Structure 1
Protein backbone atom coordinates (compact mmCIF):
# COMPACT_ATOMS: atom_id res chain seq x y z
CA UNK A 1 0.00 0.00 0.00
CA UNK A 2 1.42 3.36 -0.96
CA UNK A 3 1.32 6.06 1.64
CA UNK A 4 3.50 8.99 2.50
CA UNK A 5 5.38 6.56 4.76
CA UNK A 6 5.93 3.71 2.25
CA UNK A 7 7.12 3.68 -1.35
CA UNK A 8 5.85 0.83 -3.55
CA UNK A 9 9.29 0.34 -5.09
CA UNK A 10 11.02 -0.25 -1.75
CA UNK A 11 11.17 -3.79 -0.37
CA UNK A 12 13.46 -6.18 1.47
CA UNK A 13 15.92 -7.60 -1.07
CA UNK A 14 17.63 -9.98 1.36
CA UNK A 15 17.39 -13.79 1.36
CA UNK A 16 15.65 -14.11 -1.99
CA UNK A 17 15.59 -17.41 -3.87
CA UNK A 18 17.51 -17.98 -7.08
CA UNK A 19 14.91 -17.31 -9.76
CA UNK A 20 17.16 -17.85 -12.78
CA UNK A 21 15.29 -21.04 -13.69
CA UNK A 22 11.82 -19.86 -12.64
CA UNK A 23 9.12 -19.02 -15.16
CA UNK A 24 6.82 -16.04 -14.68
CA UNK A 25 3.50 -15.22 -16.27
CA UNK A 26 2.41 -11.61 -16.27
CA UNK A 27 -1.19 -10.75 -17.11
CA UNK A 28 -1.75 -7.09 -17.94
CA UNK A 29 -4.97 -5.17 -18.39
CA UNK A 30 -5.19 -3.14 -21.62
CA UNK A 31 -7.50 -0.61 -19.92
CA UNK A 32 -5.35 2.44 -19.06
CA UNK A 33 -2.52 0.87 -21.05
CA UNK A 34 -0.34 3.95 -20.62
CA UNK A 35 -0.30 3.20 -16.90
CA UNK A 36 -0.34 -0.60 -17.05
CA UNK A 37 2.57 -0.52 -19.50
CA UNK A 38 4.67 1.34 -16.95
CA UNK A 39 3.57 -1.04 -14.19
CA UNK A 40 4.41 -4.05 -16.35
CA UNK A 41 7.84 -2.66 -17.20
CA UNK A 42 8.49 -2.17 -13.48
CA UNK A 43 7.58 -5.82 -12.86
CA UNK A 44 9.79 -7.09 -15.70
CA UNK A 45 12.73 -4.93 -14.61
CA UNK A 46 12.40 -6.22 -11.05
CA UNK A 47 12.36 -9.85 -12.17
CA UNK A 48 15.42 -9.29 -14.37
CA UNK A 49 17.19 -7.47 -11.53
CA UNK A 50 16.77 -10.56 -9.37
CA UNK A 51 18.07 -12.99 -11.98
CA UNK A 52 15.06 -14.05 -14.02
CA UNK A 53 15.84 -14.74 -17.65
CA UNK A 54 13.98 -12.63 -20.20
CA UNK A 55 12.90 -15.74 -22.11
CA UNK A 56 11.23 -17.04 -18.92
CA UNK A 57 8.89 -14.07 -18.60
CA UNK A 58 5.62 -14.39 -20.50
CA UNK A 59 3.38 -11.34 -20.86
CA UNK A 60 -0.28 -11.70 -21.80
CA UNK A 61 -2.92 -9.00 -22.07
CA UNK A 62 -6.59 -8.97 -21.14
CA UNK A 63 -9.16 -6.28 -21.97
CA UNK A 64 -9.68 -4.93 -18.46
CA UNK A 65 -8.95 -5.51 -14.80
CA UNK A 66 -12.01 -7.71 -14.33
CA UNK A 67 -10.46 -10.22 -16.75
CA UNK A 68 -7.18 -10.42 -14.79
CA UNK A 69 -8.49 -13.35 -12.77
CA UNK A 70 -9.22 -15.61 -15.70
CA UNK A 71 -5.97 -14.57 -17.36
CA UNK A 72 -4.16 -15.47 -14.14
CA UNK A 73 -5.90 -18.83 -14.06
CA UNK A 74 -4.90 -19.59 -17.67
CA UNK A 75 -1.28 -18.92 -16.71
CA UNK A 76 -1.31 -20.61 -13.30
CA UNK A 77 -2.73 -23.84 -14.68
CA UNK A 78 0.38 -24.21 -16.84
CA UNK A 79 2.68 -26.48 -14.85
CA UNK A 80 5.86 -24.74 -16.03
CA UNK A 81 4.74 -21.32 -14.72
CA UNK A 82 6.08 -20.79 -11.18
CA UNK A 83 4.39 -17.47 -10.36
CA UNK A 84 1.86 -15.10 -11.89
CA UNK A 85 1.84 -11.31 -11.62
CA UNK A 86 -1.42 -9.45 -12.27
CA UNK A 87 -1.22 -5.81 -13.44
CA UNK A 88 -4.20 -3.50 -13.77
CA UNK A 89 -5.73 -0.14 -12.90
CA UNK A 90 -9.18 0.70 -11.56
CA UNK A 91 -9.98 4.38 -11.06
CA UNK A 92 -13.08 5.40 -9.15
CA UNK A 93 -15.74 6.92 -11.34
CA UNK A 94 -19.26 8.28 -10.92
CA UNK A 95 -20.66 4.85 -10.02
CA UNK A 96 -19.65 2.07 -7.64
CA UNK A 97 -18.19 -0.10 -10.43
CA UNK A 98 -14.75 0.20 -8.87
CA UNK A 99 -15.91 -1.45 -5.64
CA UNK A 100 -17.27 -4.44 -7.55
CA UNK A 101 -14.26 -4.79 -9.83
CA UNK A 102 -11.70 -4.41 -7.03
CA UNK A 103 -13.46 -6.92 -4.81
CA UNK A 104 -13.91 -9.45 -7.62
CA UNK A 105 -10.28 -9.19 -8.71
CA UNK A 106 -8.93 -9.48 -5.15
CA UNK A 107 -11.08 -12.53 -4.44
CA UNK A 108 -10.32 -14.07 -7.83
CA UNK A 109 -6.56 -13.67 -7.55
CA UNK A 110 -6.63 -15.17 -4.06
CA UNK A 111 -8.69 -18.10 -5.33
CA UNK A 112 -6.33 -18.77 -8.26
CA UNK A 113 -3.31 -18.68 -5.97
CA UNK A 114 -4.88 -21.15 -3.57
CA UNK A 115 -6.24 -23.41 -6.33
CA UNK A 116 -2.86 -23.81 -8.03
CA UNK A 117 -0.68 -23.41 -4.92
CA UNK A 118 1.42 -20.76 -6.66
CA UNK A 119 2.16 -17.12 -5.98
CA UNK A 120 -0.32 -14.91 -7.84
CA UNK A 121 0.50 -11.34 -6.95
CA UNK A 122 -1.84 -8.37 -6.82
CA UNK A 123 -0.51 -5.54 -8.97
CA UNK A 124 -3.85 -3.77 -9.20
CA UNK A 125 -3.74 -0.02 -8.69
CA UNK A 126 -7.03 1.07 -7.10
CA UNK A 127 -7.35 4.83 -6.82
CA UNK A 128 -9.81 7.68 -6.68
CA UNK A 129 -8.15 9.73 -9.43
CA UNK A 130 -5.95 9.42 -12.49
CA UNK A 131 -3.28 11.49 -10.70
CA UNK A 132 -3.18 8.96 -7.84
CA UNK A 133 -2.79 6.13 -10.36
CA UNK A 134 0.12 7.91 -12.04
CA UNK A 135 1.70 8.44 -8.62
CA UNK A 136 1.69 4.64 -8.21
CA UNK A 137 3.02 3.93 -11.71
CA UNK A 138 6.52 5.28 -11.25
CA UNK A 139 5.48 8.57 -9.68
CA UNK A 140 5.98 9.84 -6.16
CA UNK A 141 4.69 6.64 -4.56
CA UNK A 142 6.87 4.28 -6.60
CA UNK A 143 5.69 1.55 -8.95
CA UNK A 144 3.04 -1.02 -8.00
CA UNK A 145 4.44 -3.33 -10.69
CA UNK A 146 7.74 -3.44 -8.82
CA UNK A 147 5.87 -4.29 -5.63
CA UNK A 148 3.89 -7.08 -7.35
CA UNK A 149 7.01 -8.66 -8.86
CA UNK A 150 8.88 -8.39 -5.56
CA UNK A 151 5.96 -10.11 -3.82
CA UNK A 152 6.10 -12.98 -6.32
CA UNK A 153 9.86 -13.39 -5.88
CA UNK A 154 9.56 -13.24 -2.11
CA UNK A 155 6.81 -15.87 -2.11
CA UNK A 156 8.98 -18.15 -4.24
CA UNK A 157 11.58 -17.73 -1.49
CA UNK A 158 9.09 -18.74 1.22
Structure 2
Protein backbone atom coordinates (compact mmCIF):
# COMPACT_ATOMS: atom_id res chain seq x y z
CA UNK A 1 0.00 0.00 0.00
CA UNK A 2 1.33 3.44 -0.89
CA UNK A 3 2.22 5.50 2.17
CA UNK A 4 -0.06 8.26 0.90
CA UNK A 5 -2.91 5.89 1.71
CA UNK A 6 -1.53 4.72 5.07
CA UNK A 7 -0.51 6.40 8.29
CA UNK A 8 2.99 5.10 9.04
CA UNK A 9 2.39 5.52 12.76
CA UNK A 10 -0.62 3.18 12.90
CA UNK A 11 0.18 -0.52 13.27
CA UNK A 12 -0.99 -3.63 15.03
CA UNK A 13 0.49 -4.14 18.48
CA UNK A 14 -0.88 -7.63 19.05
CA UNK A 15 1.54 -10.18 20.50
CA UNK A 16 4.58 -7.92 20.83
CA UNK A 17 7.62 -9.42 22.58
CA UNK A 18 9.12 -8.08 25.79
CA UNK A 19 11.94 -5.78 24.63
CA UNK A 20 13.01 -4.50 28.04
CA UNK A 21 16.23 -6.54 27.87
CA UNK A 22 16.89 -5.98 24.14
CA UNK A 23 19.49 -3.55 22.80
CA UNK A 24 18.89 -1.40 19.76
CA UNK A 25 21.16 0.68 17.56
CA UNK A 26 19.67 3.52 15.56
CA UNK A 27 21.89 4.74 12.71
CA UNK A 28 20.88 8.19 11.44
CA UNK A 29 21.97 9.93 8.25
CA UNK A 30 22.92 13.57 8.83
CA UNK A 31 21.93 14.59 5.28
CA UNK A 32 18.37 16.04 5.28
CA UNK A 33 18.68 16.47 9.04
CA UNK A 34 15.30 18.16 9.49
CA UNK A 35 13.72 14.95 8.25
CA UNK A 36 16.09 12.40 9.77
CA UNK A 37 15.96 13.98 13.23
CA UNK A 38 12.17 13.66 13.13
CA UNK A 39 12.55 10.02 12.04
CA UNK A 40 14.94 9.41 14.93
CA UNK A 41 12.55 10.99 17.43
CA UNK A 42 9.75 8.75 16.20
CA UNK A 43 11.84 5.57 16.31
CA UNK A 44 13.31 6.35 19.71
CA UNK A 45 9.97 7.22 21.28
CA UNK A 46 8.29 4.13 19.83
CA UNK A 47 10.99 1.89 21.30
CA UNK A 48 10.57 3.56 24.70
CA UNK A 49 6.76 3.41 24.51
CA UNK A 50 6.86 -0.35 23.90
CA UNK A 51 9.32 -1.24 26.64
CA UNK A 52 12.90 -0.54 25.59
CA UNK A 53 15.10 0.98 28.26
CA UNK A 54 16.88 4.26 27.52
CA UNK A 55 20.23 2.69 28.37
CA UNK A 56 19.61 -0.05 25.78
CA UNK A 57 19.31 2.34 22.83
CA UNK A 58 22.46 3.63 21.17
CA UNK A 59 22.63 6.14 18.33
CA UNK A 60 25.22 6.47 15.62
CA UNK A 61 25.36 9.19 12.98
CA UNK A 62 26.61 8.77 9.42
CA UNK A 63 27.11 11.57 6.88
CA UNK A 64 24.45 10.43 4.42
CA UNK A 65 22.13 7.59 3.54
CA UNK A 66 24.77 5.85 1.43
CA UNK A 67 26.82 5.27 4.60
CA UNK A 68 23.93 3.66 6.50
CA UNK A 69 24.90 0.15 5.40
CA UNK A 70 28.40 0.26 6.84
CA UNK A 71 27.24 2.01 10.00
CA UNK A 72 24.55 -0.64 10.42
CA UNK A 73 27.09 -3.40 9.86
CA UNK A 74 29.42 -2.07 12.55
CA UNK A 75 26.58 -2.03 15.08
CA UNK A 76 25.12 -5.38 13.98
CA UNK A 77 28.53 -7.04 14.44
CA UNK A 78 28.45 -6.15 18.13
CA UNK A 79 27.15 -9.13 20.07
CA UNK A 80 25.12 -7.04 22.52
CA UNK A 81 23.08 -5.31 19.77
CA UNK A 82 19.87 -7.18 18.98
CA UNK A 83 18.49 -5.01 16.16
CA UNK A 84 19.60 -2.08 14.03
CA UNK A 85 17.33 0.63 12.65
CA UNK A 86 18.73 2.66 9.74
CA UNK A 87 17.12 6.06 9.15
CA UNK A 88 17.70 8.33 6.17
CA UNK A 89 16.06 10.39 3.47
CA UNK A 90 16.98 10.57 -0.21
CA UNK A 91 14.88 13.09 -2.12
CA UNK A 92 14.37 12.53 -5.87
CA UNK A 93 15.61 15.94 -7.01
CA UNK A 94 16.64 16.66 -10.60
CA UNK A 95 19.19 13.85 -11.06
CA UNK A 96 19.10 10.07 -10.81
CA UNK A 97 21.42 9.96 -7.78
CA UNK A 98 18.53 8.75 -5.64
CA UNK A 99 18.08 5.64 -7.80
CA UNK A 100 21.66 4.58 -7.21
CA UNK A 101 21.76 5.52 -3.55
CA UNK A 102 18.40 3.96 -2.64
CA UNK A 103 19.20 0.71 -4.42
CA UNK A 104 22.66 0.49 -2.82
CA UNK A 105 21.31 1.22 0.67
CA UNK A 106 18.44 -1.25 0.37
CA UNK A 107 20.79 -3.98 -0.87
CA UNK A 108 23.45 -3.11 1.70
CA UNK A 109 21.07 -3.21 4.65
CA UNK A 110 19.55 -6.45 3.40
CA UNK A 111 23.01 -7.98 3.20
CA UNK A 112 23.90 -6.85 6.73
CA UNK A 113 20.76 -8.50 8.11
CA UNK A 114 21.39 -11.72 6.21
CA UNK A 115 25.06 -11.86 7.20
CA UNK A 116 24.48 -11.17 10.89
CA UNK A 117 21.12 -12.88 11.36
CA UNK A 118 19.81 -9.77 13.10
CA UNK A 119 16.95 -7.49 12.16
CA UNK A 120 18.35 -4.56 10.19
CA UNK A 121 15.51 -2.22 9.35
CA UNK A 122 15.25 0.00 6.25
CA UNK A 123 13.83 3.26 7.57
CA UNK A 124 14.84 5.37 4.57
CA UNK A 125 12.38 7.75 2.98
CA UNK A 126 12.51 7.97 -0.82
CA UNK A 127 10.17 10.92 -1.57
CA UNK A 128 9.92 13.08 -4.67
CA UNK A 129 10.27 16.33 -2.71
CA UNK A 130 10.87 17.87 0.71
CA UNK A 131 7.16 18.18 1.53
CA UNK A 132 6.56 14.47 0.93
CA UNK A 133 9.50 13.76 3.25
CA UNK A 134 8.10 15.97 6.00
CA UNK A 135 4.65 14.40 5.56
CA UNK A 136 6.26 11.00 6.37
CA UNK A 137 8.48 12.24 9.19
CA UNK A 138 5.78 13.16 11.66
CA UNK A 139 3.43 14.94 9.27
CA UNK A 140 0.09 13.98 7.77
CA UNK A 141 1.21 10.44 6.90
CA UNK A 142 2.71 9.67 10.32
CA UNK A 143 6.35 8.88 10.96
CA UNK A 144 8.44 6.28 9.14
CA UNK A 145 10.65 6.21 12.25
CA UNK A 146 7.71 4.85 14.26
CA UNK A 147 7.14 2.17 11.64
CA UNK A 148 10.84 1.24 11.52
CA UNK A 149 11.01 0.81 15.31
CA UNK A 150 7.84 -1.30 15.34
CA UNK A 151 9.28 -3.42 12.53
CA UNK A 152 12.41 -4.04 14.63
CA UNK A 153 10.26 -5.06 17.61
CA UNK A 154 8.14 -7.41 15.52
CA UNK A 155 11.17 -8.99 13.86
CA UNK A 156 12.68 -9.69 17.28
CA UNK A 157 9.40 -11.34 18.20
CA UNK A 158 9.55 -13.52 15.12
CA UNK A 159 13.18 -14.38 15.81
CA UNK A 160 12.23 -15.43 19.33
CA UNK A 161 9.38 -17.56 17.98
CA UNK A 162 11.56 -19.28 15.36
CA UNK A 163 14.42 -20.05 17.73
CA UNK A 164 12.13 -21.34 20.48
CA UNK A 165 10.57 -24.02 18.28
Give your verdict on TM over 0.5: yes
TM-score (norm 1): 0.98
1:104 is aligned to 2:104 = yes
Distance in 2 separating the partners of 1:133 and 1:2: 14
What do the CA deviations read for 1:76-112 (whole angstroms, capped 9, x no partner)? 0000000000000000111100000000000001000
On the 8 A contact 1:86/1:123 being kept in 2, the answer is yes
- C-alpha RMSD of matched pairs (Å): 0.9
Shift of 1:31: 0.3
Task: Measure, in 2, the Cα distance between the counterparts of 1:155 and 1:29.
Answer: 23
Partner of 1:58: 58
| More helix per residue | 2
Shift of 1:3: 2.8
Q: How far off its partner does 1:2 sit?
A: 4.7
Shift of 1:51: 0.4
Residues 2 and 141, structure 1, Cα contact 8 Å, conserved in 2: no
SS of structure 2 residue aligned to 1:104: helix
What do residues 47-76 of structure 1 show as CA deviations (whole Å, max 9, x unaligned)?
001100000000000000000000000000
Look up the SS of the partner of 1:55 in the other structure. helix
SS at the partner of 1:154?
helix
Q: Number of aligned residue pairs: give it.
A: 158
- Consecutive unaligned residues of structure 1, counting only runs of 5 or more, are none
Give a deviation string over 1:3-40, Cα, whole Å, max 9, x none.
34311001111101000000000000000111101100
